[in-house]
Chain A
């Protein structure tokens, strides 16, 4: 029996050393998770500075009509902010379009304030010493939906079209790498480098957690970022051309993702790596 025993022991040892690599990966993922928990303390989240700036911008009189945005209807009635973001994008009768928050704000700036939005669009993403009105306004308005559940609006035919187009765009491959959104987000439990990838090709917790955490403060960029920026960056990484800011393709993707994220509880602005 001795050789068999010895052989068994050797087999056991060999088999047991194999998962060490996997364990090392688990350990590093736990460290990443710990880091995330550390930075997700709301009291140390600089994203709330953007919320405060956004509040001021919302009430500031601007444009040729010298009025504030306070009468802007974000879907729940003029000036009503609580819960509005949780139901965007949605169909707006006055514009006869489905709009996300940025598109709606641009519309209100143009139509209510008579504001030339060229400068606002030029500063759509902030840079060092160059704040973005849009990032701040989105942070302020989205924050008013914190604690509420993502409630996708899909009753109007144009909303349904938007969601369906968004799903198509999600799976549409192109660019020099033949990538689509689903290349990275089409299967569960995948990683790119060490970064875990949320599964977004169907409903579930990944979609809920993802969509409930935008806008976010990005530590690596020292800036509050909106979901417009996230999708812009996704297309950049996919080697697609730059998507137009406030374009319908971005709104379509957002609505599709909110559709599969329905019920996710918003906690924004969050803080991310």
Chain B
């Protein structure tokens, strides 16, 4: 081995070491198929998001025993939101699943998590025509649209999925949030398999059917997005021509 080779090898290894730290931190935002190793809680959650089962205990939720009764809290809620239109008030009455998530601050025991998934999977309506993928170009717009459902919106406002608020998707969009895992190359990384497609549809339609007390909205079950909108977002994730799967 020549001196040149030694120094090149040293340089390369050094480079690899220097680069290792940012990569470990970046792994936190990556979905499943990356090597384990220096995985953070966020990455654990990302893994969790793709396979059914109760989520691991979040780091910060030391589920402190509540110092006030639920009735007291309900009293405050009534005083604070009681003058809103009746249908709006109904929206903040927690269903059985949200009651459990609120009670345990999302850190539900396994049996409660199992019950949530069982209850919520029954609320998933799969497309009658059996087709999961719509138009990725429409899906791209839905993923970028943060409108709809706010008390300042007109009722006829078309709802957006606002996916970029929390997820990285197409690489070309630099304005993305980190509340959820990165979804770049989503379909490609999953080999576009039917099982993965169905699983993703289930997750978007009703996140609670996949991860109990997931932070993600139940877009289908709560009627926030239409079936066609969900199909279009699905195409954005799974169409090989979608920018999500390019580069």
Task: Please report A residues at the B interface, Cβ cutoff 8 Å.
Answer: 1-2, 4-5, 8-9, 11-13, 15-16, 18-19, 21-25, 28, 160-161, 164-165, 167-169, 171-180, 182-184, 186-195, 197, 201-202, 235-237, 239-244, 247-250, 252
Report how far A188 CA is from B215 CA in the complex, Å.
Answer: 15
Give per-residue flags for B49-80: 1 if the beta carbon is below 8 A from chain A beta carbons, else 0. 00000000011110010111000110011011
Report how far A16 CA is from B164 CA in the complex, Å.
Answer: 26
Q: Point out the residues of chain A lying under 8 angstroms from B102, CB to CB.
A: 171-173, 180
Would A9 and B12 count as touching, CB distance under 8 A?
yes
Q: Point out the residues of chain A lying under 8 angstroms from B81, CB to CB.
A: 240-244, 249
Q: Is B152 an interface residue (CB 8 A)?
A: yes
Task: Please report B residues at the A interface, Cβ cutoff 8 Å.
Answer: 1, 5, 8-9, 11-16, 18-20, 22-23, 25-26, 42, 58-61, 64, 66-68, 72-73, 76-77, 79-85, 88-89, 91-94, 98, 101-102, 105, 149-152, 164-166, 171, 174-179, 215, 217-218, 222-224
Would B94 and A174 count as touching, CB distance under 8 A?
yes
Would A11 and B72 count as touching, CB distance under 8 A?
no
A-B contact list, 9 entries, CB within 8 Å: A9-B12, A15-B15, A24-B174, A164-B66, A165-B76, A177-B222, A186-B60, A195-B177, A247-B80
Among A2, A16, A176, A193, which residue has its beta carbon within 8 angstroms of that of B15? A16
Would B73 and A172 count as touching, CB distance under 8 A?
yes
Q: Distance (Å) between the CB of B154 and the closest chain A CB?
A: 14
Q: Point out the residues of chain A lying under 8 angstroms from B79, CB to CB.
A: 244, 247-249
Would A241 and B92 count as touching, CB distance under 8 A?
yes
Would A192 and B179 count as touching, CB distance under 8 A?
yes
Q: Point out the residues of chain A lying under 8 angstroms from B224, CB to CB.
A: 176-177
Q: Point out the residues of chain A lying under 8 angstroms from B178, CB to CB.
A: 189-191
Among A175, A188, A244, which residue has its beta carbon within 8 angstroms of that of B80? A244
Would A252 and B76 count as touching, CB distance under 8 A?
yes
Report how far A242 CA is from B82 CA in the complex, Å.
Answer: 10
Report how far A237 CA is from B83 CA in the complex, Å.
Answer: 19
The number of inter-chain residue pairs (CB within 8 angstroms) is 183
Given contacts A5-B8, A177-B222, A171 and B105 within 8 Å (CB-CB): yes
Would A168 and B179 count as touching, CB distance under 8 A?
no
Q: Point out the residues of chain A lying under 8 angstroms from B165, CB to CB.
A: 192-193
Would A173 and B80 count as touching, CB distance under 8 A?
no
Would A174 and B92 count as touching, CB distance under 8 A?
yes
Would B13 and A12 count as touching, CB distance under 8 A?
yes
Closest to B92 in A: A174
Known: A1-B9, A9-B12, A236-B152. 9 other contacts (CB 8 A): A12-B11, A15-B15, A15-B19, A160-B67, A165-B73, A178-B218, A187-B179, A242-B84, A244-B81
Closest to B216 in A: A178
Would B1 and A161 count as touching, CB distance under 8 A?
no
Q: Distance (Å) between the CB of A220 and the closest chain B CB?
A: 15
Would A239 and B177 count as touching, CB distance under 8 A?
no
Q: Point out the residues of chain A lying under 8 angstroms from B98, CB to CB.
A: 173-174, 178
Q: Point out the residues of chain B lying under 8 angstroms from A237, CB to CB.
A: 150
Q: Point out the residues of chain A lying under 8 angstroms from B151, CB to CB.
A: 235-236, 240-242
Report how far A5 CA is from B179 CA in the complex, Å.
Answer: 40
Among B15, B83, B218, which residue has its beta carbon within 8 angstroms of that of A12? B15
Would A15 and B20 count as touching, CB distance under 8 A?
yes
